[in-house]
Amino acid sequence: MRRIGGLVALCRAAEGIATSSTAGNVVCNRMLQTALYGTTSAYSRRHHWFTNSNKLVEQPAAHTVAGTMLFSVAASAVSEDVHAKEPVQPKLRPNDVVLYQYEACPFCNKVKAFLDYYDIPYKVVEVNPISKKEIKWSGYKKVPILMVDGEQMIDSSEIIDELSRRVGSRAQGDNLSDEAGEENKWRGWVDNQLVHVLSPNIYRSSSEALESFDYITSHGNFSFTERIIARYAGAAAMYFVSKKLKKRHNITDERAALYDAAETWVDALKGRDFLGGSKPNLADLAVFGVLRPIRHLQSGKDMVEHTRIGEWYSRMEDAVGAPCRLETQGA
């Protein structure tokens, strides 16, 4: 197995400067594309976030009280009065839905949040981010790709828009309403702002970068060799790349930016259970979707502990419910 030649080469590969054709550099370049999934967008089983940290932080008293209340509520039995899924009429439900994805990709998780909430069964094909052999049949070389009854759909926001029209969750002309205007505004915020604070946070330190790549490689479609290279080379490279991402997006304090984004979203709810009112709308599903990949990571635990977003997230878990993913042979 060829090895990647040092951290300098890793950083150059991360910036797109290195042009070496060695197997190691190919793996690193492809893995960096996967790791950076949360920074671009064309539209520019239930798990509560718990933490055992009792560390004191300089946060407003209201946030501390909210966090304490969250853990007390989450630790109790789940109420039977929960927000249910929104099943699609049988005649409108697609017959065959296949999602080509990276398990850790927030944009793929946006699509899955929609499918789960509307109770649309789907199969998943995990794409190898290095060879991408699973999507060689397509002219589109990014994920998510959704096949719906044989028709290809691309770009997470466009996929959701089209599915919304087809399953009747959004009628023609809905975009003209005030509610739709608010919904579209916050969907744009997800793609243009929220996603940009994720990478600097999950790769903030060497330990967090390694934690993130442990998740990416354990849930992704990798060979043994690819997994080893991706875990260590990718984590090292992304640690340095995250510093450039901070500068690009004018972020001085990663956690502060993440907490601010979470509080901005909670403020947008204006006391409602969801942005959509009594039920989640597409913006709720978008925020929930992109946050799913960090829910097991230290950044996600910190965000819930130090902001008010945890209660909304728990309501979203109840609303979206169990995954509608169909188990396939070899999955």
Is 108 an annotated catalytic residue? Answer: yes
Query: Active site residue: 37, 43, 100, 107, which one?
Result: 107
CA distance 196 to 69: 29
Is 37 an annotated catalytic residue? Answer: no
Query: Active site residue: 43, 100, 102, 117, which one?
Result: 102
Query: Active site residue: 108, 118, 239, 313, which one?
Result: 108
Residue 134 burial class via C-beta count within 10 angstroms: exposed 0-12, middle 13-18, buried 19 and up: middle
Strand partners, 148: 97, 151
CA distance 276 to 319: 12
Is 102 an annotated catalytic residue? Answer: yes
Cα-Cα end-to-end distance for the chain:
27
Is 50 an annotated catalytic residue? Answer: no
CA distance 291 to 194: 9
Q: Which two tokens stand for residue 37?
A: 């999934």
- For the annotated catalytic residues, the residue numbers are 102, 105, 107-108
